[in-house]
Chains A and B, each alone.
Chain A
Amino acid sequence: MIPRHLQIGMAVLLVVVLIMAFYVHRMRGRVAETGARVADTRPVAPPVAGPTEQVTLYVAYDDAGVLHAQSARVPLPAGRQQRAQELLRALLGIYLDKNSPHPLPAGAEVRDVYMVDPGLAVIDTNSAFADNHRSGVLVEELTIASFVRTLAANIPGINRVKILVDGKERDTLAGHADLSDFYDTSAVGKAADQLETAAQ
């Protein structure tokens, strides 16, 4: 016959074990959730400080091989440089979304945009942006045209754009689109128009 106090002790221990098992199960679930969050390498959302403004983003669509002008409200700081940066980050947000019309590689980021007078914008992207970009004449052109056109449409005075990768000059984006030269915004505008016309 087991003494009564031992029976009560065993019951209490069993309850404690069950509670601990439930707690461990919950904690493992949370760790998995945190891990998933770490793996999401999308850039953080633009700062929400300041009023939002209506802007035009030129979004690339792979299916039709065109750029579509798309209105969006983006919180924009006052400085031209910061505005350019936030515009491109808003564009990247669309491309990194799981329903992206023109998927860019996970971890792709615009590190900085420098405005050099007169009229030159230098976009510094990270290596994930270029190293893992899909390779092809059209697919690379769409990315570049989308960036250049969006900047030219929303920031007055930009007439040339240069794209760097990790602060360095690079020959091509992913084997095709030239990154060694400066892009003339009006020439890119014409190329984007032709994308539209040729798709019709």
Chain B
Amino acid sequence: MRWISFVLAGCLLLEMAAPTPEEKRISIYSPAADYSLSVTQREGKDYVGLLEILEPLGSVTAKMQGQKWQLRFNDIDAQFTPGSNKARIRGREVDLPARFLMENNRGLIPLDSLVTLLPHFLGIPVLLHTTARRLFISEAGTTYKTEFSKTTPKLVLNFSSPVNPTIGTEPGKLNMIFVRDPLLPSGPESVNFNDKAISSITFQENNGAAEITVNGGVPLLASFSNDGRTITVAPAPSAAPAPAAPPAASVAPAATPAPPAAGPAPSGLPAPAPTATLRYFAVVDASHGGDERGAALSDKLTEKDVTLAFAQRIRQELESRGIATLMLRDSDSTLTVDQRASTTNTARPAIYISVHAASDGTGVRVYTALLPSGGDNRGPFVAWDAAQSPLLSVSQAAASSIAAELRKKIPVRSLIAPLRPLNNVTSAAIAIEIAPPSGDVADLSSPTYQQLIAASVATGVVSMRDKLEASR
């Protein structure tokens, strides 16, 4: 009996160890909505729920009448018989490539029947990329053009409409996954640039998504501009090859002395790439942006606009003091807090500065992270919500330094706040919330006030340089 138990336990372990297959999905792009649905495997074929496909496209109702499934889409009647591979739409018989199935009141149709069925309902042709499971309904799609600059080096992707991909990085490549964007290539799917930093770009489609991969020899960073219509891919500032010809002023100013070679990484953080040298630079993050406007500071003034103006001044002040600066948002684009954190963590700056604005109170508040409970860093694995914990004391020291500079000119408070992405950043991280100098909110857009604060913040960062470099 014992060997049976062992065999069963072994089978169980094998089952647990087997990788979970990725859920199959189909993405539908139409003028009415862009959406993604899960695909079910039945009788060796891919099936989708017809009701779920039609719901975002118009008014749809369905019910069983006897043995038939009656469906009404806008003013079009259709009839499906469970188990049959024939359907009746607008009184005309339509052949299905496999049987129609009913499961828990869900009418399932074979995926490859969409090309035949949908034109009957919608009156327009549809295009299905069968292998990738991407369905285009009267949708011209979003195309892109690439511009590569070898001197900088930099790859600019110009899209025909705004895009919002999920961006991931891994050694030697940067992936952009477009699920909700009807992205199509306008030229060849793969282009080589014959450059060490950015070597090639490829386009592929898979499982209801389009993916653009930029390959390179150094860690790469993507930044958005032009309201989400432009993505610029460039080597991360920390990874810019040291002996390269004149570096871009915003990334590695000539005045910046070469920092010491990468020392031991703070506990729990991934070690830097061996070829990379860590440069002293700052990430400045204008909070909110795009669809997310932040606080309405007055009838005309939104937080997202004020933070962008302040962030640009801080960058200017930092760079005039010889500190390279990376702006996460340099236009009115939408970025999630996770995107802000992951871009910062990939870049590995000496300090991350998030900029906020408020109409309540006066002066400036400087914040460090209030870490949530349950953050559990184990060995090399860092809990996302508590990634800041090893750096918290450095962040607090930086906040004190900046507050001390600001205090010389305006009222300032140093506080702790539950404000993301401070707790997700693996560098020294602070946020500044700028309130008007007196009660007048309009002063937030005063160039003199912005300049005064930006200069103090930059001076505070400069005076922390040694400590921030040591913490890296």
Interface flags for B100-111 (1: CB within 8 Å of A; 0: not) read 000000000000
Which B residues are CB-close (under 8 A) to A181?
372-374, 385, 418
Q: Say how far B29's CB is from chain A's closest CB, in angstroms.
A: 27
Does the CB pair A194–B416 fall under 8 Å? yes
Bound-complex Cα distance A7 to B337 (A): 85
Contact B295 A198 (CB under 8 A): no
- Surface stretch bound by A, among B117-125, B273-281, B357-365, B461-469: B357-365
Asked if B371 CB lies within 8 Å of chain A CBs, one says: yes
Label chain A's interface by main secondary structure: mixed
> A137-B358, A182-B374 are contacts. A177–B416 as well, Cβ < 8 Å?
no
Residue among A137, A172, A178 with the most chain B CB within 10 A?
Answer: A137
Set of chain B residues within 8 Å of A152, measured between Cβ atoms? none
CB distance from B282 to the nearest CB of A (A): 20
Q: Are A144 and B358 in contact (CB under 8 A)?
A: no
Distance A84 CA – B423 CA, assembled complex (angstroms): 29
Q: Which of B295, B360, B413 contacts A175 (CB 8 A)?
A: B295
A135 interface residue (CB < 8 Å to B): yes
A62 and B358 CA atoms in complex are apart in Å by 13
B50 contacts partner chain A, Cβ-Cβ < 8 Å = no
Residues A137 and B431 in contact in the complex (CB < 8 Å), given A178-B420, A181-B385, A191-B416: yes
Which residues on the A side are within 8 Å of B365 (C-beta)?
Answer: 65, 137-138
If the complex has contacts A160-B373, A188-B370, are A177 and B419 also in contact, measured as CB distance less than 8 A? yes
Is A183 positioned at the interface, with any CB of B under 8 Å from its CB? yes
Whether A65 contacts B418 by the Cβ 8 Å rule is no
B-side interface residues, number (CB < 8 Å): 31
Q: How far is the CA of A139 from the CA of B337 in the complex (A)?
A: 20
Given A136-B359, A139-B360: A194 and B415 within 8 A (CB)?
yes
Q: Residues of A contacting B420 with CB < 8 Å?
A: 172, 178, 180
What is the CA–CA distance of A65 and B417 in the complex, to the nearest angstrom?
13
Q: Which of B367, B374, B417, B431 has the most CB of A within 10 A?
A: B417
Interface pair B372/A191, CB less than 8 Å apart: no
User: How many whole Å from A188's CB to the nearest CB in chain B?
Assistant: 7
* Residue numbers in B under 8 Å from A65 (CB-CB): 360-361, 365, 413
Q: Are B303 and A135 in contact (CB under 8 A)?
A: yes
CB-based contact B418/A183 at 8 Å: yes
Q: Which residue in chain B gives the minimum CB-CB distance to A63?
A: B361
In the complex, A124 Cα to B372 Cα: how many Å? 19
Interface residues in B410-450 (C-beta closer than 8 Å to A): 413-420, 423, 431, 433
Are A177 and B294 neighbours in the complex by a CB distance under 8 Å? no
**By the criterion CB–CB under 8 Å, are A138 and B415 in contact?**
yes
Which of B296, B303, B415, B431 meets A195, CB within 8 Å? B415
**B418 x A177 contact (CB < 8 A):** yes
B360: A residues at CB distance < 8 A: 62, 65, 134, 136, 138-139
Chain B positions 255-299 with a Cβ under 8 Å from a chain A Cβ? 288, 292, 294-296
- The 8 tightest CB contacts between A and B, nearest first, are A181-B372, A184-B373, A135-B295, A136-B358, A198-B413, A191-B416, A178-B418, A137-B433
- What residues make up the interface of B, taking CB atoms closer than 8 Å to A? 288, 292, 294-296, 303, 337, 356, 358-361, 365, 367, 370-374, 385, 413-420, 423, 431, 433
Extra inter-chain contacts (10) besides given A182-B374, A194-B416, CB under 8 Å = A135-B358, A174-B295, A175-B295, A176-B419, A178-B420, A184-B371, A187-B416, A198-B413, A198-B415, A199-B413
